[in-house]
Structure 1
Amino acid sequence: MTSARVVSVSRDDEHRFSKPREDEITLVEGLGVEGDAHFGATVQHLSRVRRDPSQPNLRQVHLIHRELFAEVTVDVAPGELGENITTEGLDLLALPRGTRLHVGAEAVVELTGLRNPCVQIDRFRPGLLKQVVGVDQEGDVVRKAGAMAVVLSGGVVRPGDAIEVRLPSGPLEALAPV
């Protein structure tokens, strides 16, 4: 995992499905991506705000591995699936909950769970939802649309930044939808 790096960074100050790419984003401890609609200590995803606006925001930063784009049969570019950070050389979905990713010179995010893809993906590209959610041989649901994280240490993140992985100590817990 020594070759893991940031391919692209994105943010949007409005709640839209895709996020425009930026030259850099600033992560703020405990809050997320500065200037992004999902910035905050409590939930910012509209459906979750309607349910309980006091819940902690475990989805401050959305990460997707660029390798996913090669797996799907439709054209998808960084930021188009709503992620803040597009990675390369890192099997995000195989990492356990609590994994810390040191991104660039200062930023540290901790993985909280998987993105639970919804029908908005099909509205973006018809048929894409079936490609990012499936069932494995054991009958378990497999979600491929990225991982969610909280910001432990803030900092500026840019394309080309290295990503260092630090696994949690103790028993490892697989990522689950958050």
Structure 2
Amino acid sequence: MARVMAINRSEKKGTIKTPIKEGRFLKNHGLQGDAHAGNWHRMVSLLAKESIDKMIAQGVKGLGPGKFAENITTEGIELHTLPIGTKLKIGETVQVVTQIGKECHSGCAIKQQVGECIMPKEGIFTKIIKEGVIRPGDPIEILK
């Protein structure tokens, strides 16, 4: 079963995010209190634990939720295979996939600290279309 492993937030862009107990996700905004939130197509970033595990298998130490600046760390779903436009019910929210991967900006703190960033290949971005609270353990459902 696909589920939320962690909710992560940071006050500055390009920095590692810190896990929080729950997140309030606002329509046309994203995660309340997060540096990346705003009314644009990349309101929320998601990365699968399975993607992080690939980096750990390559010998990168100290990785875990938020290290790649993702807002939501997931488990049990191959995020990067979801087509753009896919709707996801996560916790109380409904989100739509708007982008797969991204170009890392130069001087990215994550790349400097961990040596490589997996977000450009396997991270996804969503827009909030129904707001609500998300907590670790919440199920993730692909809506038809």
TM-score (normalised: structure 2): 0.88
- The match for 2:33 is 35
- The match for 2:44 is 61
* CA separation of 1:81 and 1:7: change in aligned 2, threshold 3 A: same
* CA separation of 1:16 and 1:116: change in aligned 2, threshold 3 A: closer
Q: How much has 1:12 moved relative to structure 2?
A: 1.5
* CA separation of 1:122 and 1:13: change in aligned 2, threshold 3 A: closer
- The match for 2:4 is 6
Q: What are the residue-to-residue correspondences of 1:1-178 with 2, within 5 Å?
A: 3-41=1-39, 57-72=40-55, 73=58, 74-75=60-61, 76-104=63-91, 106-118=92-104, 119=106, 120=108, 121-126=110-115, 128-129=116-117, 132=118, 143-144=121-122, 146-167=123-144
Give the total of aligned pairs: 137
- Separation in structure 1 between the aligned mates of residue 101 and residue 45 of structure 2, nearest angstrom: 8
Identity over the aligned pairs, expressed in percent? 34
Q: Looking at CA atoms only, which structure, 1 or 2, has the larger radius of gyration?
A: 1
CA RMSD of aligned residues (A): 1.6
Structure 1: unaligned runs, 5 residues or longer = 42-56, 134-141, 168-178
Do the aligned partners of 2:84 and 2:100 also contact (CA within 8 Å) in 1?
Answer: no
Q: How much has 1:115 moved relative to structure 2?
A: 2.7
* CA separation of 1:69 and 1:161: change in aligned 2, threshold 3 A: same
Q: Which ranges of 4 or more aligned residues in structure 1 deviate by more than 4 Å?
A: none
- Separation in structure 1 between the aligned mates of residue 20 and residue 85 of structure 2, nearest angstrom: 27
CA deviation profile, 1:119-138 (whole Å, cap 9, x unmatched): 52421212x24xx38xxxxx
More strand by share: 2
CA deviation profile, 1:129-150 (whole Å, cap 9, x unmatched): 4xx38xxxxxxxx812x10000
- Separation in structure 1 between the aligned mates of residue 89 and residue 11 of structure 2, nearest angstrom: 25
- Which amino acid counterpart does residue 12 of structure 1 have in structure 2? S
Q: How much has 1:117 moved relative to structure 2?
A: 4.2
Secondary structure at the counterpart of residue 143 of structure 1: helix
Q: How much has 1:95 moved relative to structure 2?
A: 0.6
Structure 2: unaligned runs, 5 residues or longer = none
